[in-house]
Structure formats: C-alpha cells, structure tokens
Structure 1
Amino acid sequence: MKTFLKSLIFICFISVLLIGCSTDGSSDETNGESGKDGVTLSLYSTVTNEADQIAMESVIEKFEEEYPEINIDYNFPAGEYESQLRVKMAANDMPDLFDTHGWSQNRYGEYTMDLSDMDWVADLDPALEEIFTDEDGKVYAYPINQAKDGLTYNKNVLDEYGIEPPNTFDEFMTALETIKEESNGEVIPLWFGGSEEGEFGQFFDQFATPLLITHPDYDYSEALLDGSFNWEPYTFLPEKLLEMQEKELINLDALTAQVHEKTQLLAQDKIAFVMATTPIGAVRELNPDAELGVMPVPAIHEGGEQSWIGGERHTYAIWKDTEYPEEAKTFIEFLAQPEIVQELAEGTSLPAGLTNASADIYFQPYYDEYSDVMVEPYFDRVFLPSGMWEPMGTAGQELLSGSLTPEDVSEKMATEYTRLLEQEGSE
C-alpha cells in the first residue's frame, strides 16, 4: 500500500511539472501574438555600420524597458536587405516595421500605413515634407535621420598638404594627384571598398547629379523622366573613374577591399577622401586625434554649383496589414520623443528628421559652412527605374576589372534603364 501511495504521489508530482512545462512552452509560442505575454514586432533596418546599430539597439532596449508588453525582433540584413524585402513584398508578408531607405513612396508606398494622424508629423523637417507626404496628405514613414551626402575627407591629410576642399571636379582631380605625389604614395587619395558594388554605385549616383541635372545647360531631367535619355553624356563618369585607377589615385585593391577596412585606414591617416558621409565615432576610437570633414559634391561643368545629395536616410514605416498597428505606432511615438530624436541623430552622426530636438553632431559646423548649398535628391531615386542601383554598381566593378570600357558602361546603363522602364510599365 505504501508503495502504491508513493507511486501515486510521484505520478502527481511529475504531472504538475509537465503541466508547468507545457504552460511555459505555450507562453513562448504566444509571445509575438495577442497573448498575455504581449506581442513581438518584427523590425528590419538598413543600418550597416556598428555605430548606427549600437544607437538603434540602445533605443530599442529603452523602449522594451518602458513597454515590456511589446518586444522588438530587430534585423540588420546589411547587403541582403533589398533582396529580402523584395521576397516579402512578393509574398505580401512584410515586417511590422521596415526601413524605406529612400523609397518611401516609389517602391514601398503601397505597403505602408498612413501615419498622418500621428502627433510627430507637426515636427517633420520641412526639407523632408515632399519626400514623405503625397498630394493627398498621406505620410509614408517616420524619418530617423536625413541624408546630406557629399564626400568625407581626412582633414589632417588635407591640412598637411595644404589642400582646400575642392569646389569643382577638376580641382578634385588635382587634389587627388597632389596627395599621391606629396605623400609618395603612402596616402590613398580616394578609397573604395569595392568588394561591395554599392561603393561604385555611390560614386556614379552622386556625381550624376552635377553632370546631368543641376547645370541649366546640361539638364537632362525631362529626358530621363520620359525615357528618351541618350546615355552618351554619362560616359564622363566611367572615364574619370578609369582614369583614377590608371593614375593610381584610388586604392590598388579597390575591387576587393572590404568596407570595414575604411575605419582603420582613416584612423591611420592613410585615406584622403571617401564617398558619402563616414561616422567619426569608430575612427576616433582608434585615433582620438582623427579629424574628418564633409563637403558637398563638386561641380562638374564650368559655372556649375556644388550639391549636397540627400533626402531620406533611415526610416521606419509601418506595414499597412500589420496585426499590431497600435503597438507599432507606440514604437514610432517613442522614437519621436525629443530625447530619443536627439540620441538617434547623434548616434548616427546625421541631422534629425524632426525639428523638436537639437543634436550635437560632429559634422554640423561643415553643414553650416555649406548651408547655402542646395540639397538634391539621390539621382537614382528620382530619375531611374527601380532596380538600377545594382547594375550601376556592378558596372563600376566590371569597368575596373577590364571587362567593360567606359562606353560599355553607358551602354549597359542604357540597356538596363530601358529594360526596367518597360518592366515597370508592364506591371
């Protein structure tokens, strides 16, 4: 009898444990659904450099502390972002929150929730209104920061060789040649992490604006928009990139260099110029005496003007079919608090997208210095069909590897431009 009672007690004890384990497992499964443990929002972002990721992770952690019932499952796919989002768009299964990275209306518009009823819209920087708001008043995404790209330069290097930031492309080429000669080849005049196609895409995209858009005598914007553009004038850019390679004004390993190498080389004063804006934080961790500057894209044609290349950088849109619209809006509202706006602007070293906070940004004195320079939208976002970024970047790789001539690059651009325009027209 005693043995029977002991067995019965043991069975009951095991049953309680199993029930407890089953309950725990069920809670895990409901995490992310409308269960008692709250919901999980999926979030995809294009942030790639470590400083930006740290800034975003810090803000997400603060949000989850304040709203423990809402979990953020964040993803930073880097170079795989666009391909992953295209798959999700095709399946109509988007993340709850996602980065529109310059395509809030043209590419992602039909997948985004209208955010016009949110309080933060009143603080949207006027420079971004046309980008995020359509003629019907729909607001497509929340701007974490805004782009103001040109070139980043190593101020220590330019000061050492007595070089002023160039205003024109001819001055830019002269500066590159001077740096090579004066440093005896120890400093790379213009550096590319060309193992990633986007490095060359950035060069072509930024310089296309002064070449083809902003000078009144060389304004091809209408032809680009209506599909009649003759790509011959574009050949100037691959010709100049090839000339830079032949004169050893870019790094010898431009086709294989990894983007992450840039930080260390800048810290060692081994690079003079890079495309776009490079955060100073990681560089100064390696060299506290490092000094970087930013400048607009030089003018190309005589009488032309410099241009900042900008608009939307990192954003969060809410998927229109999310199961958790209120929770997603709660996250956006959290981001729009002045102290969080400031934290993200300073953490990413870029101007904020809202006007309700003042951020201490390292490059702000340079933005102030060139405050009279117009901010032009990224060339590909306005004038090229969706999908042109990849062929634009790979054309640079093929050019420097010797498989394409400058004329071939323009022909490739023309072919892809026509193909993708026709593809858009058939959709």
Structure 2
Amino acid sequence: MKSIPFAALLLGTALVGTSALAETTLTIESWRNDDLPIWQEKIIPAFEKAHPDIKVVFAPSAPTEYNAALNSKLDAGTAGDLITCRPYDAALALYQKGQLADLSDMKIMSNFPDVAKSAWQTDDGKHTFCVPMASVIHGFIYNKDAFKELGIEPPKTVDEFYADLDKIKADGTYIPLDMGTHDQWEAATMGYQNIGPTYWKGEEGRKALLDGTQKLTDPDWVEPFKQLAKWSNYLGDGYKAQTYPDSQNLFTLGRAAIYPSGSWEIPVFEPQVDFEMGAFPPPVQKAGDTCYISDQPDHAMGLNAASKNKDAAMTFLNWVGSADFAQLYSNALPGFFSLNSAKIELKDPLAQEFLSWRQNCKSTIRSTYQILSRGTPNLENATWAASANVMNGTQSPEDAAAELQKDLASWYKPQQK
C-alpha cells in the first residue's frame, strides 16, 4: 500500500469535520402548528442563511396534545433539541425534572425585563430556563364588513356587547359569536380567561386567589361563568361538536361576526380573509370602569438537557435572544409581541390595535398559569372542562365554580383556610 501524504490526511480530516457540521440538524418541539409555514418560509431561512452549518426543523404537535406528547418524548429520550416552553408552571415542572437546561448565564438574558423572564424562572428568580419570545393579548376579533353592514359599532360595555349580539342574531346573516366547545380549551382560554379579569380585577383578584383571600366561589369568579352561559344563546348551530379549526374556518369564510380569541390569530387569519378585520378588548361592566386585558407571556424557547447538539442549539438560542430576531419574529407573526427590550416597529395595523390596549387597560395573566395548576386535579385542565360544561348547559355557573374550588382546596393550602 502506498502511504498517504500527511497534508492529505489533514485535508481529509477537515472535510470530515465540515461535513459533520453541515449535517447538524436541530429539531424544535412546539404546539404552534398554525405557524409551521412561517417558520419554514421566514424564520428558519433567516437563521440558516447566517448559519449554513446548522439546519433547523420545526416539528409542532397539536396544541391539545403538546404537553402529553412532549412529556412522553422527554421521558423516552426522543424529544427535539429545542423545546418551546409554555409559561410558568408547565415549563417549571420540566426544569425541576432536569429536562430543561439552566440558561441563567446566557448574556442575552439581559435583553429581557424581569417581568418577561419571570414566566420562565424558578419561584426565587435565581434560575432562568427558557429564552423569552412573545406574549399574546386576549380580546375579540370582528368582521368589520359585517359590522358596517348591520350598522353596529364595537362595544365598550357588556350591555353594548349583548345589544350587538342581539342585532346580529336578529339579522340572521352571520353567526353572532363564533366558538365551539368540543375541544374545551377554547371555552376557558378564549372565554373565561378573556373576560374574567374584568370581574376579578386582573392581578388584584389573581393574587388574592393565590394568597387565599378570595375563592373561586366568590361572585367575582362565578360571574364570568354566568356570562359564558349567556354566550350559548349566540353560538352557531352544532357548537357542541364545533372544534377549534371549525371556528377558525367559520370566521375566515365570513360566516361569523365576532370571534372571541386573541392576537395569536392574526398571522393565521390575515392571509385567508377577504374582508377587513378589527378588534376590541373585553367590554367593561359599565362606562368608566377600568379595562382589564389578559396580556399573557405565551412562549419561550429552552434547551433539552439531553440534546446531543447543545453547541448548535445554544447558537440558535442566542439568535432568539437578539434584537434582530425580535424584529423579524414580531412582524413575521404579527400578534405575537416580542418580550425583548429592543424597540420593535410593528407594521401590521391589527397587531397595533391589540398592542394599543396596554395604554388604557391593566394587564394581567391567565389565572390558572402560575402555581395554581401544580397539583392534582390540575386547575387549568379542570377550568377547560368547567367552561365547556357551562356553555353546554350541563353544569350551572355556581356548580362549576364550586367544583373547581373543591379541587383546588384539595391540595392548595392557602385555599384550605
């Protein structure tokens, strides 16, 4: 055999190393399956252009299946390198199990205010385990053409809200309120958590629930269920079998006038509709009352502690924490508002409408997301079922609240007073 020149060996080693780098593939776990085209067409190409040695695959699950699917994959060692983190307790539980890496020492964490990082930190604030990405704002999206046609204006009070619904129902052209209860989570997320802060006064009520000075059977917590019970008079035929995608389709096809939802629908709806959309915040009880909105830290990105591609994954996370990513993401996905301290210019008018509410309304988060869903029964999931049951007429608002209170008090000590 002829000997191989040393220079050739070096060249071969270099080529093998380059090939290995070129084949590094990162997989992102997420529940945002609606965003798949945006990741594939805008976000991933921007990263790969700057980092041609790293390929990225966005591999979402259905929202209702994500938690269970992700937990199973993490336990089995088959989860992706990067984990899209739900806020507060869900991600905290993964960190406490050692499945999310500690990212506290990343320099880019200084790009985010403390309030943004708090959704993905330990209770003492000493450990941060996900890079904040975006928040979403709850509210109501409406068909402007339908409103103009029917001569109605976006409501500011609860009475005006029902007056609008009555006019839409009497006309018969449009479904007044576009929501189904089949998947349950919409009834809670887009119903109960949307309007609830108006009654329990946002952070005031949420913190009172945490310290045990208010209970879920108090009037301020029962009233949102009473409102949901009234909503059933304005839902479409067959709403009990109506899924979340069904609701989305009804609205984008122009068959419904008002869609209880939030800013996260903007990038999904805008390419599909052929009518102008508007948005209004949850109506106040009476004119002059303080407006409350659920301004929810929605998602962040963490590192699977068992990833075999940690260096490449950290490269991606550093990019996610940059001002460049914040600008790209906020406009690629209008309605997902960057948590980065960098100044972001929003180009989408509907996204700007949602964001403008922060100036006049008090912000809060979903009541079940921090601490109150750590035990069993899980208050978040129980609220899904309770909200759907109330809208279906199979449970009274009072009974739904009493059951949730009993569940919470069964394991949460401040509620056992």
- Normalised to the residue count of structure 2, the TM-score between the two structures is 0.79
Within 5 A, what are the aligned runs for 1:20-31? none
Q: Where in structure 2 are the equivalents of 1:12-51 lying within 5 Å? A: 38-49=23-34
CA contact under 8 A between 2:369 and 2:380: conserved in structure 1? no
Query: What is the CA–CA distance in structure 1 between the aligned matches of 2:149 and 2:27, rounded to whole Å?
Result: 48
**In structure 2, what is the equivalent of residue 235 of structure 1?**
222
Alpha-carbon distance in structure 1 between the residues aligned to 2:209 and 2:325: 43
Q: Which amino acid counterpart does residue 279 of structure 1 have in structure 2? A: E
The yes-or-no answer on 1:310 pairing with 2:299 is no
Question: 1:210·1:304 contact (CA, 8 Å) conserved in 2?
Answer: no
Partners of 1:301 and 1:416 lie apart in 2 by 33
Counterpart Cα distance in 2 of 1:76 and 1:265: 24
Residue equivalent to 2:4: none
CA–CA separation in structure 2 for the residues paired with 1:197 and 1:369? 29
Moved over 6 A (4+): none
Report if the CA contact (8 A) 1:100-1:108 is conserved.
no
AA in 2 matched with 1:322 = S
Contact 1:195 1:257 survives alignment (8 Å): yes
Aligned to 1:366: 353
* Pairing partner for 1:189 from 158, 176, 193: 176
- Is 1:399 the equivalent of 2:385? no
Q: How far 1:178 sits from its partner (Å)?
A: 2.4
| Aligned residue in 1 for 2:71 | 86
Moved more, 272-281 or 193-202: 272-281
| Matched letter for residue 317 of structure 2 | I
Do the aligned partners of 2:21 and 2:54 also contact (CA within 8 Å) in 1?
Answer: no
The match for 1:164 among 118, 143, 153 is: 153
Question: Which of 193, 212, 223 lines up with 1:205 in the alignment?
Answer: 193
Q: Quick check: 2:30–2:84 contact (8 Å CA) kept in 1?
A: yes
Per the alignment, do residues 417 and 170 of structure 1 end up closer, same or farther by CA in structure 2, a change over 3 Å counting? farther
> What is the aligned partner in structure 2 of residue 76 from structure 1?
60
Call closer, same or farther: CA 1:100–1:220 in 2, change over 3 Å: closer
Cα shift at 1:345: 1.5
Q: Report the Cα offset of residue 80 of structure 1.
A: 0.7
Give the SS at the match of 1:144. Answer: strand
1:332 matched to which residue of 2? 317
Q: Normalized per residue, which structure has more strand?
A: 2
Q: Which amino acid aligns with 1:149?
A: H
Instruction: Give how far 1:329 is off.
Output: 1.0
> 1:12 maps to what in 2?
none
Q: 1:102 to 1:220 in 2, by over 3 A?
A: closer
SS in 2 for 1:276: strand
With over 3 angstroms needed to count, the CA separation of the structure-2 counterparts of 1:316 and 1:275, relative to structure 1, is same
Q: Does 1:342 align with 2:330?
A: no
Query: Matched residues in 2 for 1:168 and 1:269: separation?
Result: 25
Cα deviation 1:168-214 (Å, max 9, x = unaligned): 32332222222222xx2221121113221111011112222222233
SS of structure 2 residue aligned to 1:379: coil
Per-residue CA shift, 1:213-264, capped at 9, x if unaligned? 3397xx473244338725242332332222232xx31222221123223344
Question: 1:196 corresponds to which letter in structure 2?
Answer: D
- Alpha-carbon shift at residue 309 of structure 1 (Å): 0.8
* TM-score relative to the length of structure 1: 0.77
Paired residues for 1:38-187 under 5 Å: 38-49=23-34, 52-58=35-41, 59-64=43-48, 66-78=50-62, 79-88=64-73, 95-103=80-88, 106-110=92-96, 111-124=99-112, 128-132=116-120, 135-181=124-170, 184-187=171-174
**Greater Cα radius of gyration, structure 1 or 2:** 1
Distance 1:344 1:156, change over 3 A: same
Aligned partners of 1:36 and 1:143: how far apart in 2?
Answer: 27
Measured in 1, the distance between the counterparts of 2:214 and 2:266 equals: 42
Question: Deviation digits for residues 379-403 of structure 1, max 9, x if unmatched?
Answer: 2113632432222122233334443
1:81, CA displacement in angstroms? 0.2
Give the Cα separation in 2 of the matches to 1:95 and 1:284: 30
2:259 to 271, 274, 288: 274
Residue of structure 1 in register with 2:404 after alignment: 413
Query: Unaligned regions of 5+ residues in structure 1, if any?
Result: 1-33
Give a deviation string over 1:21-71, Cα, whole Å, max 9, x none: xxxxxxxxxxxxx9666444332112132xx22122232244345434434
Alignment root-mean-square deviation, CA: 3.3
Query: C-alpha separation between the residues in 1 aligned to 2:271 and 2:310?
Result: 40
